[in-house]
Structure 1
């Protein structure tokens, strides 16, 4: 993976849909419906771990880049966050919008260029499974870093790269090692809507760490969340999926101190 982590979207019938915003206008409702299910890994694993790493948000301003319908931002506002904003390319937001947040339809790739965000800074900036859609990951992280208040941090989650390697090895009849280091694009069905597939440039852990470094960020904390024992007993099919594909990575990123 280079700094220009590409992503395109295509229908599974072969018709090209190069504009990701068009696809997400169709996918958003399906994604939010899947996320709300009782056995959703977002509900069981991802959001609890993300929320734990965010800590106390009372009095904190938050920018959620790739906020989906804005539901998580609304929850953070209920927990005491203030002066928040969310950006999503689909623009299919909850109504009415939560008090204390501005929900903006736009591309997360260049947040400082959005008129609604120009000149604003935040205590917390979130990329919750949205960072893979940045057209230039290093540029996007540098822009986010410039929008942080003093002592602020970026919370960023990404799919485990091993997941894509395992899936492609199964699909292509190859090995995990071959696919982990392959630079070929990977097309897969999301599971939210069988009629739409996403095509992504995969990445390795070193790719991801080098992007953080190039953006002037260091990792304060990292996590690889797992199902609780109770959830694993209650949803064995989800534990089986986690055993095979591992889930997500969570990073708390802070700006590097300028050299004296």
Structure 2
């Protein structure tokens, strides 16, 4: 639920630990996500929910869960004892019984208190995977925490979006910026313009190679869009998707053996 591929630095305090400014930004992000016209509400969560399938009686781990609202909703929908982990620790009040929300780093899930030795039927990285210090290691750990026949649902921003933003910022071309390895920074006026987000660019091949190196294969990939009704109701959001394409969803399973 946190924005992926980002380090965040406070404009007033300079660069530092990426997790600390996220504690500033987390509540602003959740407020933005809860708006009626939020793309998370209109596009991302419905698609993520569909890819997860029936969770009744299944255990779920939400790695980088933000305030924990999504894993709490899954428990209300019948999921068994489930866990949300987020470094901010800014969690919803009174989650339903069977929901455990833990402050911890998704970069090393095995070291998070309460997760040692546990197995999950579904593990989610919803716009959070870019925070992993070592993406391959984080996915390998998650793979080992899967129960039999379990899978990972991972979402990431379409990498072309970042290339478009950089091309506009730098006066360059889409191709130049898509293959650039230089990080870029901007202020997110929709959340909190006192915080700067610094993005680590990646290509589609980068993403696919991380999955492979972690011992995972893609069972399904989805590029969700607004419904026809939502397009009519929120044309400004359709304009965003027309320009920046949206997000990518992956259903990942362990490679045999």
TM-score (norm 1): 0.95
Given the alignment of the two structures, is residue 189 of structure 1 paired with residue 193 of structure 2, yes or no?
Answer: no
Asked if the contact 2:5–2:200 (Cα under 8 Å) also holds between the matched residues in 1, the reply is yes
**8 Å CA contact retained: 2:108, 2:141:** yes
Which of 61, 67, 72 aligns to 2:65? It is 67
SS of 1:99's equivalent in the other structure is coil
| Paired residues for 1:93-108 under 5 Å | 93-108=91-106
The structural deviation recorded for 1:97 is: 2.9
Structure 1, unaligned stretches of length 5 or more? Answer: none
Retained in 2: the 8 A contact 1:17–1:23?
Answer: no
1:16 maps to which residue?
Answer: 14
- C-alpha distance in 2 between matches for 1:9 and 1:47: 23
Determine which of 165, 178, 181 is the counterpart of 1:180: 178
CA contact (8 A) 2:121 2:146 kept: yes
Q: Report if the CA contact (8 A) 1:123-1:151 is conserved.
A: yes
The Cα offsets for residues 95-150 of structure 1, whole Å up to 9 and x where unpaired, read as 12321011000110000111210010100000000000000000000000000000
Structure 1 pair 212/9, CA: closer, same or farther in 2 (3 Å)?
same
Partner of 1:201: 200
SS in 2 for 1:86: strand
Aligned to 1:156: 154
The answer on whether the counterparts of 1:186 and 1:199 sit within 8 Å (CA) in structure 2 is yes
Q: Distance in 1 between matches of 2:7 and 2:226?
A: 31
- More displaced 10-residue stretch of structure 1: 225-234 or 186-195: 186-195
SS of 2:192's equivalent? coil
SS in 2 for 1:75: helix
For residues 206-226 of structure 1, the C-alpha deviation after alignment (integer angstroms, 9 at most, x for no partner) is 000000000000000000000
Deviation at 1:6, TM superposition (A): 7.9
Deviation at 1:11, TM superposition (A): 2.3
Distance 1:140 1:12, change over 3 A: same
> How many angstroms apart in 2 are the aligned matches of 1:234 and 1:73?
28
Mean CA deviation greater in 97-106 or 234-243: 97-106
| 2:107 paired residue number | 109
Partner of 1:210: 209
Q: Check conservation: 2:164, 2:244, Cα contact below 8 A.
A: yes
Question: TM-score normalized by structure 2?
Answer: 0.96
Q: Secondary structure of the residue that 1:195 maps to in structure 2? A: strand
Alignment RMSD (CA, Å): 1.3
Asked if the contact 1:186–1:200 (Cα under 8 Å) also holds between the matched residues in 2, the reply is: yes
Cα deviation, 1:40-75, whole Å, max 9, x if unaligned, reads: 000000000000101100000000000011100111
Query: Does the Cα contact within 8 Å between 1:8 and 1:18 map onto a contact in 2?
Result: no
Distance between the aligned counterparts of 2:108 and 2:96, measured in 1?
24
CA contact (8 A) 1:62 1:82 kept: yes
Cα distance, 1:33–1:111 mapped onto 2, change above 3 Å: same
